[in-house]
């Protein structure tokens, strides 16, 4: 959904058009006010601003389909009155039997038109029995050809486009009715959508023609471009159930909206010249449909994460601090806003991790040792304890001796003292020399730079942690 919205937004911005955001919520069993709010919040977070739609308004509202049900009911009745649609009384069992028979005969499965030519007496008989009925559109008996904006000329033979349902037996209108009606009434000129909707296009073209006959449309048929599938693991289409499809996951893990849009734009589109890092504004300036590929795109989470890391590195220190505060607050590491002492630590420490993190949710683990009270500091049992032991005690004793007499507490003096004591004095390689010290101070084998971290901790806290690690 997000990639489709992005491509429509970019196309509208590039061509000077109007980006219309419409809520398709006619399925009462699936759609809710919560899902509606989630959708609005998602586009706001991504900063995909719309020109017409919910909360913005426009000349053709309302923009929630659930608020337009009366319009669809009137259109359906007009189509019935003009003989462009008809009531179908076939039961599900009868439809299943038709489908099986078509398979046996080697024909294309689809509705056989059983109710298309019912007599008035047959209709009256069904109505007297209160037999449920759906509203079906009467497809013209001809082939349909259109020039797809992505795929070029496409033709559907008439036998592959049987009469289809517009309104359920319970009166609920289907996508096949509501979208063309809204397109017509809202004067939509271009639609970019998923490849999975390709087969519905000839149906909609026929319905646009019918809507013009009943004065719902001015006769304009939108131009369609069908975007390629996005494939996931195992060379299968990415589905809503796949974790990679969850926008919530990316927000919770700390992907930047700018980075996510950047990566999604690469799924089926290319700026050319091997350019893969760009803003949405640069995307809009360069977006043309001739660069949209009809071939499936593959979602690569590692590449998405790498691009996110690139975007984080483009931010200023202040911007990174601002964006990681919610993640730090969620783990009770800072107040919101941070105290003066916490702010000072962040200003000193964030430059140390700026180049190292690829997602914002990595920041709490890397900064925890600087932000917790001494009484709450603990060495990570899985990640750090193995570095400590009797052999490490010699190293820790030497480190304490080297640091406790320092008169100047700075990164340079800390590094000089520890190298002289552990590498030159004990003859240790850097990994064996500094590994136990790192674990003692940060609680982890992997951390921000050691000497800078010790400077931020301060001499007293550094010596307390080294001493505690001995025990």
In 3D space, the residue among 451, 367, 434 whose CA is nearest the CA of residue 398 turns out to be 434
**Cα distances (Å, whole numbers) of residue 355 to 252, 263, 276, 320, 358:** 20, 20, 19, 11, 8
DSSP state of 193: E
The three-class DSSP label of residue 49 is coil
Q: Give the count of beta carbons closer than 10 Å to the beta carbon of residue 81.
A: 10
Query: CA end-to-end span of the chain, whole Å?
Result: 55
Q: Give the relative orientation of helices 257-265 and 2-15 as an angle to the nearest 10 degrees.
A: 80
75's tokens: 């259109």
Q: Give the count of beta carbons closer than 10 Å to the beta carbon of residue 394.
A: 13
Beta-carbon contacts of residue 314 (< 8 Å; ≥ 6 apart): none
In 3D space, the residue among 333, 310, 314, 323 whose CA is nearest the CA of residue 360 turns out to be 323
Beta-carbon contacts of residue 224 (< 8 Å; ≥ 6 apart): 146, 148, 149, 190, 191, 192, 193, 201
| Catalytic, out of 240, 302, 329, 429 | 240
Q: Give the relative orientation of helices 411-418 and 430-442 as an angle to the nearest 10 degrees.
A: 130
201's tokens: 């296009």
The three-class DSSP label of residue 377 is coil
Peptide bond before residue 337 is cis, with ω within 30 degrees of 0: yes
**Alpha-carbon dihedral angle through residues 320, 325, 326, 329, given to the nearest 10 degrees:** 160
Match 């730090």 to its residue by tokens.
Answer: 328
Distance of alpha carbon 337 from alpha carbon 351, whole angstroms: 19
Label residue 230 left, alpha or beta by phi (over 0 means left) and psi (-120 to 50 means alpha): beta
User: Is 302 in the active site?
Assistant: no
Instruction: Give the active site residues.
Output: 240
């Amino acid at each position: 959904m997000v990639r489709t919205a992005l491509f429509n937004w970019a196309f509208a911005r590039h061509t000077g058009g109007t980006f219309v955001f419409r809520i398709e919520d006619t399925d009462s069993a699936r759609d809710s006010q919560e899902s509606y709010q989630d959708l609005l919040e998602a586009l706001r977070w991504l900063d995909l601003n719309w020109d017409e739609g919910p909360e913005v308004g426009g000349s053709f509202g309302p923009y929630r389909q659930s608020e337009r049900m009366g319009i669809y009911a009137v259109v359906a009745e007009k189509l019935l009155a003009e003989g462009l649609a008809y009531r179908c009384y076939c039961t599900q069992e009868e439809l299943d039997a038709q489908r099986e028979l078509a398979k046996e005969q080697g024909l294309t499965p689809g509705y056989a038109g059983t109710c298309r030519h019912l007599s008035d007496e047959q209709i009256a008989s069904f109505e007297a029995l209160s037999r449920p009925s759906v509203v079906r559109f009467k497809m013209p008996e001809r082939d349909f050809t259109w020039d797809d904006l992505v795929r070029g000329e496409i033709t559907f033979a008439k036998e592959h486009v049987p009469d289809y349902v517009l309104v359920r037996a319970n009166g609920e209108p289907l996508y096949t009715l509501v979208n063309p009606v809204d397109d017509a009434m809202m004067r939509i000129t271009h639609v970019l959508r998923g490849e999975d909707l390709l087969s519905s296009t000839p149906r909609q073209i026929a319905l646009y023609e019918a809507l013009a006959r009943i004065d719902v449309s001015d006769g304009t048929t939108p131009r369609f471009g069908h975007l390629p599938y996005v494939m996931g693991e195992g060379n299968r289409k990415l589905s809503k159930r796949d974790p990679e499809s969850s926008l919530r996951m990316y927000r919770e893990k700390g992907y930047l909206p700018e980075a996510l849009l950047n990566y999604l734009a690469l799924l089926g589109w290319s700026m050319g010249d091997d350019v893969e890092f760009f803003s949405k504004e640069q995307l809009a300036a360069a977006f043309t449909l001739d660069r949209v590929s009809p071939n499936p795109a593959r979602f690569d989470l590692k590449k998405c994460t790498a691009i996110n890391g690139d975007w984080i590195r483009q931010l200023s220190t202040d911007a990174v601090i601002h964006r990681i505060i919610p993640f730090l607050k969620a783990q009770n590491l800072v107040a919101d806003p941070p105290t003066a002492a916490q702010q000072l630590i962040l200003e000193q420490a964030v430059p140390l991790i700026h180049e190292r993190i690829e997602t914002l949710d990595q920041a709490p683990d890397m900064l925890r040792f600087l932000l917790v009270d001494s009484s709450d500091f603990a060495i990570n049992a899985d990640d750090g304890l193995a570095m400590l032991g009797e052999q490490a005690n010699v190293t820790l004793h030497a480190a304490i001796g080297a640091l406790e007499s320092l008169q100047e507490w700075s990164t340079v003096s800390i590094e000089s003292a520890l190298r002289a004591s552990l590498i030159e004095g004990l003859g240790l390689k850097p990994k064996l020399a500094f590994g136990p010290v790192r674990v003692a101070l940060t609680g982890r084998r992997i951390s921000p730079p050691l000497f800078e971290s010790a400077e931020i901790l301060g001499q007293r806290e550094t010596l307390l942690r080294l001493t505690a690690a001995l025990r």
